[in-house]
Amino acid sequence: MKDVTRALVRSPSQKSQGHQSHEYMSAETLLLKLRLALQFEEPEITFDYFLTHRTCWLLLTNIKKACADQLRKLFGTGCIEHENQLSWMVGYIFCAASGVDHVANLAPKKLSGQVTSRLMVTAAAVLDSMLTSGMGALTCRSLRESHGIHISDDSDLE
């Protein structure tokens, strides 16, 4: 595998010599080398990122539903208007738990100076319920079934 990568990339000594060194090869040779290099990447390519994305998005949606009233009180009605803003939920939760009143693109706190961990506690409860329902294990199960990779948790160590 290293031979394939070495053939595709110039070495640091070649770069430091100040001259360009080109290796000319046929399209067939280049495609063969690229195919061999990509075979090494196959487990990353075949991993079900969409399953992980859907699980995370479901978690953020559930957190938004559970925290909606608290978010409106702290940040106003316009803090998360569209679904594509769900990832900002994390920023709002940390902003509420810290002394910061405004962060980047997030809506400023309506009640400036107020620090509360209620949002974090609510979000933790939603996360805990998802994990106990088995939703949190979907990605681990996918890795185990498709690639033979077993991820242990704390209960496996006991």
pLDDT digits (tens, 9 = 90+) for 1-29: 444 444 455 455 555 555 566 677 888 98
What whole-number distance in Å separates Cα of residue 76 and Cα of residue 66? 16
pLDDT score of 2: 47
Q: Give yes or no: residues 88 and 24 share one domain.
A: no
- In angstroms, the Cα distances linking 94 to 42, 87, 117, 142 are 37, 12, 9, 31
Q: Do 122 and 138 fall into the same domain?
A: yes
pLDDT of residue 49: 83
Task: List the structure tokens of 41.
Answer: 């990447």
Are 134 and 81 part of one and the same domain? yes
One-letter identity of residue 105: N
Q: How many domains does the chain have?
A: 2
- Whether 24 and 9 map to the same domain: the answer is yes
What count of other Cβ atoms lies within 10 Å of the Cβ of residue 96?
23
Residue of 63, 62, 65, 92 lying closest to 76 (CA atoms): 92
Q: What is the pLDDT of residues 60-113, one digit of tens each?
A: 999 999 999 998 888 888 888 888 989 888 888 888 888 777 776 677 776 676
38 and 99 share one domain:
no
Rounded to two decimals, the pTM is 0.63
Residue 32 belongs to what domain range?
Answer: 2-46
Q: Please tell me the predicted confidence (pLDDT) of residue 57.
A: 93
Q: Are residues 54 and 127 in the same domain?
A: yes
pLDDT at site 150: 80
Lookup: tokens for 155: 């209960």
Q: Quick one: 64 exposed, middle or buried, by C-beta within 10 A (0-12, 13-18, 19+)?
A: buried
99 and 147 assigned to the same domain: yes
